Each structure stands twice: as C-alpha cells, then as structure tokens.
Chains A and B, each alone.
Chain A
Amino acid sequence: DGGITQSPKYLFRKEGQNVTLSCEQNLNHDAMYWYRQDPGQGLRLIYYSQIVNDFQKGDIAEGYSVSREKKESFPLTVTSAQKNPTAFYLCASGRGERSPLHFGNGTRLTVT
C-alpha cells in the first residue's frame, strides 16, 4: 500500500536535547511538508520541499531544521532552540503545487 509513514508515534525528550522525526513516503510525490498542530488549533507550516535537495521555510521554521536528500524521505529535527516543542507533528506529501495532500499519522512529541 502506498502511503506516508511517520515514526515514532510518541516521542519523549528532555529539554535541551535535539530530536529527529522521521517521515517516509512511497507515493512518488515530489513535494513534502511538515506541519505542527497544537490543541484546538489548525496546522501551521514549518518547512516544505518541492524537490530533492531543496526546501523552504514555512511560517514557523525557527528552532527546526530539515533535509531532503532522497525523494522518499523528509526528516525534521526539533532543536533545543525551539522554545515550545511539545506538539503533534504531521508530515504530508503531494504531487505538486495546489494538489491535495496525503498525511502521515503524526508524531506526538513531549518535551519535559
């Protein structure tokens, strides 16, 4: 089955530690996205990539970093510089501009 896999589902980290969230897709989509979702709020775009080896900052990129070395993979690192990292993180992919997005089932990150 084609889809997007995010791992792990739950992640716990101590404050001050960097943590990397995995996102893999086998849909052959060019575009990949990372969103953050806080309780009762909509999704906010962190980073996106339209093509391998290229990515752009979204609306809330501070404290995050990404890489896009392979078409299938778009890992997100939450650095210690992110002031409020506890959230639900969603990865998505799409065929290109303006196309519907396919989402993974998210990673819930808790930092204490």
Chain B
Amino acid sequence: SQQGEEDPQALSIQEGENATMNCSYKTSINNLQWYRQNSGRGLVHLILIRSNEREKHSGRLRVTLDTSKKSSSLLITASRAADTASYFCATDANNDYKLSFGAGTTVTVRA
C-alpha cells in the first residue's frame, strides 16, 4: 500500500533556482527516505531522516520532517540540469519495516 504522497506531481524550474517538493504520509513512521530516479533507471538513495530528527542536509539537499503534520519536504538548492529526475519519498511505518513509496515528483531543470 502507498503511504507517501508527493506534491507537486511535476515541477519545472530554471537552472540555478531552488526546487521544493513535499511528501505527506498517513501513519506514524520510523524513518523517511528520499530517492531519485533518472528516466529508465533504478532509484538512487539520497537521504534518510529519522522520526526524531527535524532537519538534515546533504550537499545541496535539505530535508525537513514534521511528524506532527506527517509531512516532509525536500529542497534542492541551486539546481542543475543533472537534477532533472523523479524524486520519491519512502516511509516505513512503526509496525512494518517495509518501505512504502509515493508516486513521485518529476522535476525538470531548464538550461
């Protein structure tokens, strides 16, 4: 069952701009992960944030987690053409360690 839902479904930005996407989920989680998928390829793990963390950074990526609102956001700063991809959030519920993926946000970075 899909627990996470990303918003927006698609995003188009100019190179150098920031891209923000959100993920909402339904049940309490242990951790939340973000993945990137280039067209026709497998997913690549970007960042994991635990339920007791509120913010995490990795290079140009910034992830926030608000467990009271059951939501997370992924910010990509100073976007590049190579950031063009689909981005997925994945959650594992407290009582089920299997990951549940959302439908993803497709990001297009225009040169």
Closest CB of chain B to A29's CB: distance in Å? 13
Residues of A within 8 A of B35 (CB): 101
Query: In B32-72, which residues have CB < 8 Å from any A CB?
Result: 33, 35, 40-45, 48
Between A42, A58, A102, A108, the greatest number of chain B beta carbons within 10 A of the residue's beta carbon is seen for A42
Closest CB of chain B to A34's CB: distance in Å? 12
Report the count of interface residues on B (CB-CB < 8 A).
Answer: 23
Query: In A78-112, which residues have CB < 8 Å from any B CB?
Result: 90, 92, 97-98, 100-106, 108
Residues of A within 8 A of B43 (CB): 43, 90, 92, 101, 103
Residues of A within 8 A of B33 (CB): 100
Residues of A within 8 A of B30 (CB): 98
Residues of B within 8 A of A44 (CB): 2, 101
Given the known A-B contacts A41-B103, A43-B88, are A98 and B97 also in contact in the complex, defined by CB atoms under 8 Å? yes
